[in-house]
Structure 1
Amino acid sequence: MKIGELAEHYELELEPLYDSNEAKALFSIAAEKVLALSSGKLIMQKNIDISFINLQKLLSILNDLQIGKPIQHILEEAHFYGSIFSVNEHVLIPRPETEELVDWIISVCSAQFSVNSFNKQSEVSILDIGTGSGCIPITIKKHLPKAEVSALDVSVHAIAVAKQNAEQLGVKIKFIEADILTFKCEEKFDVIVSNPPYIRDLEKADMHNNVLIYEPHLALFVRDENPLIFYKAIADFAIKNLKPNGQLYFEINEYLGNETVEMLVAKGFIDIELRQDMQGKDRMVRAG
């Protein structure tokens, strides 16, 4: 079978689950992994025959895609902010909106801690709460190499994945296994960041099955009656554990931006900024 023929086969077989553009993108990702060809080269070489071994690999990936398994779990890797992270069923697949949050933090910290008398990057301490794959703290550490970065998660399995990613990407992170709802420590931080569970049960009906079935519910969902439970706990922790002029960053539920801001105001935070992602959705908050 030729590359172009298999691309068409992917699109046809995935039609019940994905639209045409999504199916093409999935084939491109699978083919890049198996055939080591970029999307541009795939088009130029669409009439090239695929070897039997590689064809079987690509058909196997297609079979998994047809039952709704995410391509990142099939390949056991996900791209995030220019790096490749190992992922499995114990961690959330890193998403583009989280890249925007990380970029915000890196930009602010680079400006505040890398000039003149504030050249104290080695003293910058950052804590990520609910780290999952470790994509947030590891990426921050890669771009702020002198910063002291810690990462907390309640799941021992998630921490194992994050540790693997830190080792693979050559950064040193302090990992903490703990539940933020009960965790206490004396350490102070310049930055606390979190992408905690925030999807309400009532929103499940609108979600794709590949998320509902294959991604960890522990990292996704909260009860409808208390959707900000983790935000409140992290805000309380930040009140005690942020250094003077420290900053708290959240990725948030797009439907709960105002509620999140109101909660932070009620707890005494100032300089609160609600920011939209590239799709125009309320997705990030910073507070001091």
Structure 2
Amino acid sequence: MYDCSQTLERRERPRRFGAALLAGFLALSLTACLKVSAPAAAAPTGPLQQAPDGRRLQMTFEDEFDSFRPWRNGHGVWRTVFKDGRADDPELRTLTSNHELQLYVDPYMPIGVSGGEAAQALDPFVVKNGVLDIVARPTPRGLTRALGGFAYTSGLITTQPSFSQTYGYFEMRARLPRGKGVWPAFWLLPADLSWPPEIDVMESIGDPAEVYTTAHSNVDKTPTTKTEISSEGFHTFAVTWDRRNIVWYVDGREVKRQPTPSDMHKPMYMLANVAVGGDWPGAPDATTPFPARMSIDYIRAYRFAP
């Protein structure tokens, strides 16, 4: 790991989940650039016995994606909309404050349209050989009106109904999509549905060779860090979070460290998604390859062993 010669500025992306949040909140932040000298793809591993910093771990959550287990009728793992999913609200299926262009869909949402094209557009989750693909694609013309005019469909998974934890080690092994306007992410949000805080374990905007790490807080505005990695294959994106520090890792190598803000000491759940468009990545163009897929090998969480 070493410092790059360039720094750059961008606007933080406000993630809005309720009227209590200020939609107009924008803050400039300096983005540090780091490079990880890593193999083209991290080798898959079984459950960890210790974190990269040597602390012993006890696994508390694991999904190897031998199947997809949606949360339905009080059973399963993954919610496919934001928050607690109770309200029939389009804002639970996108982030309008970011001006994103996708609607997060699933095979269970009623839209009054049937047929093969509708079924494909409404199922962004594909499991094959122990890997979950979250697929973003243009909305078929015949479904645009039924889906609220959104130009793209994609997928979101969250452990909001099934798992949350205060502190620990959280990781995802995944291969990232490429293309202008494509925005994959792996992140943490509070179980009490407030915002901020938020821990962005990994974000990427169109270039899988560049990933970003950020912590959002009301009390501590810290820079976003850009890390350069190989654009090929799978990588492991992880964070340790405790009372004192938040530390981000890519393929087991530390890429960012900061003190834990005072408003980040409560249970949080995990999310993974592929957004399309928005203020930060911009809109897709003719060069963007669709369908765009984030392929997830596993998602795991651990607590620190006593």
TM-score past 0.5 threshold: no
Scaled by the length of structure 2, the TM-score of the pair is 0.24
Higher relative contact order (CA 8 A, sep 6+): 2
More strand by proportion, 1 or 2? 2
Larger radius of gyration: 1
Scaled by the length of structure 1, the TM-score of the pair is 0.25
More helix by proportion, 1 or 2? 1
